[in-house]
């Protein structure tokens, strides 16, 4: 295990009915709130009314900014920053899934500076401060409710890049499992894939090998989210299923599973970001396509950790590490298909002839993240495993 510092300042308020506390939890940050949300879903399911009632009841003035897309885009983000600079809110309340939370983080950073917000995403500028952010989670997947990271797509350049800085940690996040009852089966499935993707990146790529605590934590999160996903697909109103799923999603990317593992990388996200940037498919759907292909590509060189994955997640037994790794990958791919996620480029309507263009796009992020081994040709090789 490597030396590490773990500090996560986000306060989590978890449980049935906690979204009605949003006014109480937001009031310490000021009297005027920029309420950021997506399109019509929170109005259709009644969450909007509960949120605004709570905020008004706490004596807060509300300015609304809606219309965040499932894959948030730079042009809309800039509109939010413009509104925030005009209205000068004291804080933001983001109500939605990871896309809404991610765009709200970028608005919070852009509202307090004259620097062009895209410079934060490209690394030309550093985020030093941001408006306080309170989040109400309605889709559990990205872990954005307890981390300082956000992802936005520049629709002109087709670059899906991220920001990450300590000022972007939400001050408080309210997690009410009952709001997931109305989540569709496909987005329940995509969310599950997203949760798994967050923990397997370091699990498979970390340089430090003796990390038994972290490995078992990752394996427990994966087993728990797979079990709870199946429960939720069978009974969308299972409170315990939704609660387990929601907390697993938060734990997967709040920094705890990777504390002490040393350096690691996000190759699956690096490749998938190009799929969702170019084709605007759901992030979890893109990951379901990329992960089995990347695992097959990587296990050809080093099957040992993939064999452990098969033993611990699926209970596979055998002496051949290579065979165990292969079976583990097939089991995961089959499970993704079972829950309704696409597992090939063809299934998502992405032609194999587009692989060179996807690889070229992904190489921009590979360079940004310092993944030098992932040249255009290597990325194309991975994508050929995803056909």
Q: List the pLDDT tens digit at each of the 387 positions of the chain.
A: 999 999 999 999 999 999 999 999 999 999 999 999 998 889 999 999 999 999 999 999 999 999 999 999 999 999 999 999 999 999 999 999 999 999 999 999 999 999 999 999 999 999 999 999 999 999 999 999 999 999 999 999 999 999 999 999 999 999 999 999 999 999 999 999 999 999 999 999 998 889 999 999 999 999 999 999 999 999 999 999 999 999 999 999 999 999 999 999 999 999 999 999 999 999 999 999 999 999 999 999 899 999 999 999 999 998 899 999 999 999 999 999 999 999 999 999 999 999 999 999 999 999 999 999 999 999 999 999 999
Domain count, the chain: 2
Residues 275 and 248 in one domain: yes
Query: Is residue 157 packed enough to be buried (19+ CB in 10 Å), middle (13-18) or exposed (0-12)?
Result: middle
Both 116 and 198 in one domain: the answer is no
Which of 121, 149, 178 is the endpoint of a domain? 178
**5 in a structural domain:** no
- The answer to whether residues 231 and 124 belong to one domain is no
Q: Chain centroid to CA 318: how far?
A: 34
**286 and 148, same structural domain?**
no
Please identify, among 178, 198, 221, the residue that sits at the C-terminal boundary of a domain: 178
Provide the CATH number for the domain around residue 36: 3.40.50.1970
Same-domain status, 32 and 140: yes
The verdict on residue 2 lying in a domain is no
357 and 284 together in one domain: yes
Residue 192 lies in a domain: yes
**Do residue 173 and residue 189 come from a single domain?**
no
- Asked which of 116, 148, 178 is the last residue of a domain, the reply is 178
Q: Are residues 62 and 92 in the same domain?
A: yes
| Residues spanned by the domain of 114 | 11-178
Nearest to 198 by CA among 176, 222, 215: 222
* φ, ψ at 242 (rounded to 5°): -65, -40
Strand partners of residue 137:
96, 175
């Amino acid at each position: 295990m490597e030396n590490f510092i773990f500090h996560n300042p986000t306060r989590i308020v978890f449980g049935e009915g906690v979204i009605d506390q949003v006014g109480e939890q937001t009031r310490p940050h000021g009297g005027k709130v920029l309420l950021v949300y997506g399109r019509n879903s929170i109005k259709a399911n009644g969450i909007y009314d509960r949120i605004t009632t709570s905020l008004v009841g706490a004596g807060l003035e509300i300015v609304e900014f809606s219309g965040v897309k499932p894959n948030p885009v730079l042009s809309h983000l800039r509109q939010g920053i413009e509104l925030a600079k005009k209205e000068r809110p004291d804080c933001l309340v983001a109500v939605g899934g990871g896309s809404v939370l991610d765009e709200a983080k970028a608005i919070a950073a852009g509202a307090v500076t004259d620097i062009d917000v895209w410079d934060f995403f490209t690394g030309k500028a550093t985020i030093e401060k941001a408006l306080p952010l309170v989040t109400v989670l309605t889709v559990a997947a990205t872990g954005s409710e307890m981390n300082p990271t956000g992802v936005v797509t520049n629709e002109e350049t087709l670059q899906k890049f991220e920001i990450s800085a300590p000022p972007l940690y939400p001050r408080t996040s309210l997690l009410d499992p009952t709001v997931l009852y109305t989540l569709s089966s496909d987005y329940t499935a995509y969310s599950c894939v997203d949760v798994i993707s967050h923990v397997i990146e370091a699990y498979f790529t970390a340089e430090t090998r003796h990390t038994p605590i972290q490995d078992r934590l990752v394996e427990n999160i994966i087993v728990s989210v797979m079990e709870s996903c199946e429960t939720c697909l069978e009974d969308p109103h299972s409170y315990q299923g939704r609660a387990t799923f929601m907390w697993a999603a938060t734990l997967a990317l709040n920094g705890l599973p990777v504390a002490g593992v040393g350096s690691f990388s996000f190759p699956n996200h690096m490749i998938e970001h190009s799929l969702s940037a170019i084709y605007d498919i759901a992030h979890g759907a893109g990951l379901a396509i990329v992960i089995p292909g990347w695992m097959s590509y990587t296990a050809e060189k080093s099957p040992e950790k993939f064999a452990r994955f098969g033993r611990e997640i699926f209970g596979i037994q055998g002496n051949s590490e290579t065979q165990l790794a292969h079976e583990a990958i097939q089991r995961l791919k089959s499970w993704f298909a079972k829950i309704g996620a696409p597992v090939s480029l063809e299934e998502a309507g992405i032609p194999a002839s587009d692989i060179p263009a996807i690889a070229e796009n992904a190489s921009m992020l590979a360079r940004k993240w310092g993944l030098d081994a992932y040249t255009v040709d290597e990325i194309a090789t991975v994508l050929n495993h995803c056909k």
